[in-house]
Amino acid sequence: MNSIPQNIVKTQGAVFREDRERLLNQTASTIWITGLSASGKSTIAYALERALFDKGRLCYVLDGDNVRHGLNCNLGFSAEDRTENIRRVAEVAKLMNDAGVIVITAFISPFAKDRELARDAIGTETFKEIYLNTPIETCEGRDPKGLYRKARAGEIKDFTGVQSPYEAPEFPSLVIDTSRCHIDEAVQRILLQL
Residues making up the annotated binding site for ATP are: 35-42
Dist. CA 165–CA 175, nearest whole Å: 19
Q: Which of 40, 29, 28 is nearest to 175 (CA)?
A: 40
- What amino acid occupies position 82? R
d(CA 66, CA 191): 24
Judging by DSSP bridges, how do beta strands 59-63 and 174-176 pair with one another?
Answer: unpaired
**Among the listed residues 187, 84, 86, 89, the one whose alpha carbon sits nearest the alpha carbon of residue 132:** 187
User: Phi then psi for 103, rounded to 5 degrees?
Assistant: -110, 135
- Quote the distance between the C-alpha of residue 120 and its chain's center: 14
By annotation, the residues acting in catalysis are 109
The per-residue DSSP string of 33-66 comes to EEESTTSSHHHHHHHHHHHHHHTT--EEEEEHHH
